[in-house]
Structure formats: C-alpha cells, structure tokens
Amino acid sequence: MRRHTARQKLAIYALTLLVMVFFLGPICWFILLAFRHPSEAYTLPPQLIFEPYLGNFIDTFVEPGNNAPQLVNSLIVSSGATLLSLPFALSAAYALSRFAMRGKEFIMNWYISLLIAPPIVFVIPYFILMSWIGWAGSYQAMILTLQTLAIPFSVWLLKSFIDEVPLDLEEAAWVDGATRLRAFFRIIIPLALPGLIVTSMFTFVFSWNNVLFPLVLSRGSTVTLPVGTISFFASTGVYWGHIAATAVVAMLPPMIIFLLLGRYVVRGLTFGAVKG
Amino acid sequence: MGRPGKFLLGGSGLLNRSTVNKRLPYILLAPSVIILLALILYPLGFALRNSFWFWNLQTSPMPLYHSGWDNFRMVFLVTPFSEALKNTLLLAGLGTFAQFWLGMGIALLLHTHLRGMGLMRAVLIMPTTLAPVVAGFLFRYLLEPKGGILPWLLKGLGVPVPPQGFLGNAGTALFSIGLVDTWQWTPFFAIVLYAGLLSISEEIKEAAQVDGASGWRMFWSVTLPLLRPIAAFLVMIRFMQLFNSFDLVYVLTNGGPGTASRTLSFNLYREGLVNYNIGLTAAMTWLVVIIVSIIINLYLFFVFRKREW
C-alpha cells in the first residue's frame, strides 16, 4: 500500500469530511426536524440546540395515530411481496445456475430488462384491471404487481449465491442415492441460506421503498406509510412536523437492514453482478 | 446415453434422470416466466388495444369509439411529450455522468485505506437506502424558499437564489431534481466502484509500475479499463432508473413550474391518473416502450455483446 505524507493525509481527511457532511448532513437535519415543535420548523438562523418535542410522533403514531395502521400496511405489503417472490425466484435461480440450456443469456437479460423498464407503463393498466376484478385497494393487488420487480431481482441475486455452492457437494449427494429434489433441500438450501436471507432483506427494502404501486393501487385503509406521508402536503399547508415524523419512521427499517447487510450491500445493489 | 456414468455411479436412476434433466430446467423456470409474462403482456396488450380507442375514464368506464391514430397524434398536440423526452434524456444523461465521476472520486478516497475509511464506507450508503420519495421530502424541506437551510446558506455565500426557490423556478427545477438524485445515488457508485478497485490484483498494478506507469497514467490506462465491465453495468442500471424518474418529480416539483420538469413517466402519470385519458395514455405507453427498447437493446448490443453471465 502506498504511503501518504502528512500533508496528503490532511487533504484527504478534509475532503472526506466534506463528503460526509454533504451526504449525511441532510439526513441528520431532517431527523432533527421530526423533534422540533412545528412552529420552529423554519427558524433562521438554524438552531442546533433546542428542546426536543415528541408531539409529532405522538400525533402521527399514538393519538390520534392515523399513521400507525399505515406502518402495518407497509409491513404487510413488503413481507407479502417478499414471501411470494421467493419460491418463484428460487426455482428459476436454481435452474439458471445448475443447468446448461439454450437461451440462458437471453433469459437473464429478459429478467433484467424488466427491472429497468418504466413501472408507470404497467401500473396504469393494473389500476383499471384491479377495479374490474374487484381487487381495487387490496393488499393482494399490490403484492402481486410488485412481483414484476421482486421476482427478476431475486432470481439474479439468488443465482449468484447458488453459483457459489460447489457442484461437487451436490454430485456427492446424488452418488449416495439422493434424488435431485432431496439434494436440493439437503445441500443447496442450507449452503445458500445466507443468500436466501440476504435476498429476502433486499426484496423487503425495495418493496418497502416502492411508492408508485401503493400510490396507484392502495385505497384508504390499505395506504402504506410513505404514501400516507404525502397527504401531509395538503392544500391547507405543509405539515412539516408530521411529514418528518412519519418519514423518519419509514426510513428506519431500510437503514437498519442495510447496516445489518454489511458486506453484502454491494452485491445486492448490483443484483449479484458485483461480488463486493 | 450415460451408460459409463451409470456404471460408475452405480445408481439405476441415472438414465431416467438425464432424460428428465432436459426438461427440468424449463419446468423450474416456468412458474416465474409465466407469472411475469402475464404481468407484462396484460398491460402491453391493454395499451395496444386502447391506443386506437377514445376512452376517458371520467366520461365512461369502457372505451367509447374507435379513433384510429388520433391518440398518437394527440400525444404530441395535447401533452408536452417532446419536452418531457428532452427533460428525461437530459436528467438521465447528466445525472448518470455526475454520479459516476463523483462516485469514482469517493471510491479513490476510500481506496487510500487511511484510518476511518471503513466506517465511512459503512455509513456513506445511507442516502441510497432511503425511498426516493423520502429523499424528496428531505430536499423539499432543505430547499424551501422561505426558511429552508440551503437557500439561506447559499445566500450567505453570495449565490443568487431565485425568489420562487430552486424548485419553483423553470430554469433550475429539473437541475434540482437531478441534484437530489445525485445526492442519493453517488454513494451507490462510490461503494460499488470501490469494490471494483479492491478486485484489481496487486500484481497487475505492480507490473504497470515496473513499466513506468504512475498516478494519472495508471488510473486511465490500467485501473479504468479494468473497471469497465462493472462501470458499464452500473451506468446502464442508473441511466434507466433515472430515465424512469417519477417519485422525485412527484414530490419535488409535480412536473412544474408549468411543464418545465416533466419526465416521460410523470407525463404518463398525469395523462393517465390525473386526466384519466386512458386512450391517449395507451398510445403514449407504446411510444415510451419503443424508446426504452431501443435504448436497452443498443446498450446490450454495444456493451454486453461478449458478456458471460
């Protein structure tokens, strides 16, 4: 590794500090907003020291707490979308990882083209379809349509994990007389379990952070938390205290999950293409 | 077929297995492919049919009459389609460019491996973990023309701030959306490119050093070409995500002022779910699908031709 002179070190640390302030400062400032009294949202010059106020959280999550059910809705939709995608993605990822077949590259590209296609194109017809079949505003409408993102993503990421399970182990199991199915459950599942967990965590976060599908397909009692926050930009005024309190709660699960994911973050964000 | 293997492996099921094996991968792929095809072909078919029908959801729950190519003409006459296309390409192009090079700079900072860089790498990713709408809330607060901290800071530094704020000014609205997206996604480029830097072997670098390469020369001729596969992938993903921008536009500017910051996705949303002009939206959907397919295929053709997944 290259050695740095003291002056170089100073320059690097100064630059690093600048980078950290630029990228983390806005988040910290917004978290502070959630603890400010609404009348102090716009105090200039900015006040770093102030008396913390919990009213914003109490109003939104406790009493009257209109946003508490939305938090539950977010949990239901994100977990539902994650659980539904897993069996579909797992079998496809196993096939793509373990078999030589024609058109494999085409299929992989097809999955990724779904991930980068504009979701708005799909969501308007879904909106009309769901009201025709009586699913308008239902959880299942959101959970099902989110699969257009959840399945292709999970196939890619899971394949990268299954690729890493040595084929020898599976073959040894076949030699011992295990069927392919049995070998799959005895070898692949346990060895790719970290991969399954990592994939589920990412799918959960992406579904949690998705706003377009719930915005269009939810209704009253099924609204998810980030969509609920949008309603605080009302024609009667912008309720910054309530916006900040609900948004801070909405951003906690993804932040915590990313910290837990540690070294898998790079791999997940690149759909398994970069190992990291 | 498989006879020596049968003897070697001793299992009587092998012959059986190999015939099943030909079909098995397709059977395993089928559930995901079928559900995805259904979820994609329905909207595309829906849009194809209705693009030739007059249908406004406010006047009728069903398409009213066959209208030929009218909807396609109306896309350009009634909605700011070309402006939205220009905005979208500008946002995606400039945004991806800025994020890539800023991310590369930060990756090189991380790669100095000075004390504390590990911690920086772990927390730097936080903006990327946010939902895009949440990033939107954050910057609407920071950019608020009266009382927001950013206009206040910039005024203090002598930078002119438009009286309607950066989000309310036609000249700066789209640029501000790009800036928020850059804030959110530069860390993503930084940590992935850093992972790429780590994967470049010391031997190659030493060999280049022996040949007299150092500093910039080393970066341009050795490091950057080796990062090309990762960079190509990142650029494609981010370009398309920016191309599809909806959440940030919705929260930050609502496409405004006027139509100054409308993207193609937002234009579709406005026509379809605000004006309920389903026929026209269907025609626009197909135009967008064609544009996106051209971009993706060009990219796959030129960049990924030789890539083995």
Per residue in B278-296, pLDDT tens? Answer: 999 999 999 999 999 999 8
Question: Containing domain of residue B207, as a range?
Answer: 81-261
The verdict on residue B222 lying in a domain is: yes
The verdict on residue B198 lying in a domain is: yes
ipTM: 0.93
Q: pLDDT band at B11, cuts 50/70/90? A: very low
Contacts of B191 in chain A (CB under 8 A): 265-266, 276
**Which of the residue ranges A55-69, A78-92, B16-30, B134-148 would you say has the lowest mean pLDDT?**
B16-30
Question: What confidence score (pLDDT) does residue B288 get?
Answer: 96
Q: Is the Cβ pair B26, A251 closer than 8 Å?
A: no
Instruction: Record the tokens describing residue A7, joined without a space.
Output: 């002056």
CATH of A66-269, one of 1.25.40.10, 1.10.3720.10, 3.40.50.300, 3.30.460.20: 1.10.3720.10
For chain A, the structural domain boundaries read 6-60, 66-269
- Return d(Cα B34, Cα A2) in angstroms, integer: 53
Q: Is the Cβ pair A30, B268 closer than 8 Å?
A: no
The residue that leads in pLDDT, A89 or B208, is A89
Contacts of A109 in chain B (CB under 8 A): 300, 304
Indicate whether B3 pLDDT > 80: no
Contacts of A107 in chain B (CB under 8 A): 29, 33
The verdict on residue B301 lying in a domain is: no
Q: pLDDT band at B51, cuts 50/70/90? A: very high
Residues with Cβ within 8 Å of A206's Cβ and at least 6 positions away in sequence, in order, are A149, A150, A153
How many other C-beta atoms can be found within 10 angstroms of the C-beta atom of residue B248? Answer: 24
Q: pLDDT band at A140, cuts 50/70/90? A: very high
The verdict on residue B299 lying in a domain is: no
Contacts of A251 in chain B (CB under 8 A): 129-131, 134
Q: pLDDT band at B75, cuts 50/70/90? A: very high
- Return d(Cα B127, Cα B187) in angstroms, integer: 7
The verdict on residue B172 lying in a domain is: yes
Run of H or E including B202: helix B202-210
The verdict on residue B254 lying in a domain is: yes
Mean pLDDT of chain B: 89
The verdict on residue B93 lying in a domain is: yes
In one letter, which amino acid is B257? P
Nearest of A202, A184, A199, A193 to residue A253 by alpha carbon: A202
H helical segments located in chain A: 6-34, 55-57, 68-98, 104-115, 120-132, 139-145, 147-162, 167-175, 180-183, 189-191, 193-209, 212-217, 225-230, 240-261, 265-269
- Return d(Cα B264, Cα B258) in angstroms, integer: 15
Question: What confidence score (pLDDT) does residue A14 get?
Answer: 94
Indicate whether A136 pLDDT > 60: yes
Question: What confidence score (pLDDT) does residue B304 get?
Answer: 67
Indicate whether B9 pLDDT > 60: no
**Which of the residue ranges A111-125, B184-198, B199-213 would you say has the lowest mean pLDDT?**
B199-213
Mean pLDDT of chain A: 93
Average pLDDT over residues B267-271: 96
Nearest of A85, A69, A119, A56 to residue A224 by alpha carbon: A69
Among all residues of chain B, which has the CA nearest to that of A43?
B147
Write the CATH number for B102: 1.10.3720.10
Nearest of A173, A179, A195 to residue B12 by alpha carbon: A179
Q: pLDDT band at B19, cuts 50/70/90? A: low
Question: What confidence score (pLDDT) does residue A179 get?
Answer: 87
Question: What confidence score (pLDDT) does residue A215 get?
Answer: 95
Question: What confidence score (pLDDT) does residue B106 get?
Answer: 97
State the residue for tokens 């600048």.
A18
> How many structural domains compose chain B?
1
Question: What confidence score (pLDDT) does residue B8 get?
Answer: 37
> Nearest CA to CA, how far is B127 from chain A (Å)?
7
Task: State chain B's maximal CA–CA distance in angstroms.
Answer: 84
The residue that leads in pLDDT, A14 or B3, is A14
Question: What confidence score (pLDDT) does residue B42 get?
Answer: 95
Per residue in B227-262, pLDDT tens? Answer: 998 999 999 999 999 999 999 999 999 998 999 999
DSSP state of A25: H
Q: Is the Cβ pair B149, A46 closer than 8 Å?
A: yes
Among all residues of chain A, which has the CA nearest to that of B241?
A116
User: Are the CB atoms for A71 and A133 separated by under 8 Å?
Assistant: no
The residue that leads in pLDDT, B178 or A176, is B178
Per residue in A208-239, pLDDT tens? Answer: 999 999 999 999 899 999 999 999 998 788 89
Question: What confidence score (pLDDT) does residue B7 get?
Answer: 35
Question: What confidence score (pLDDT) does residue A2 get?
Answer: 60
- Return d(Cα B281, Cα B272) in angstroms, integer: 5
Average pLDDT over residues A72-90: 97
Report phi then psi at B258, rounded to 5. 65, -115
Instruction: Record the tokens describing residue A13, joined without a space.
Output: 């640390």
Indicate whether B16 pLDDT > 50: no
Q: pLDDT band at B13, cuts 50/70/90? A: very low
Q: Which of B141, B205, B242 to mutate to test the interface with A (most CBs of A within 10 A)?
A: B141
Question: What confidence score (pLDDT) does residue B273 get?
Answer: 94
Per residue in B144-161, pLDDT tens? Answer: 988 899 999 999 999 999
The verdict on residue B237 lying in a domain is: yes
Average pLDDT over residues A248-263: 95
Among all residues of chain B, which has the CA nearest to that of A225?
B134
> Nearest CA to CA, how far is B146 from chain A (Å)?
8
Single pTM value for the model: 0.92
Q: pLDDT band at B14, cuts 50/70/90? A: very low
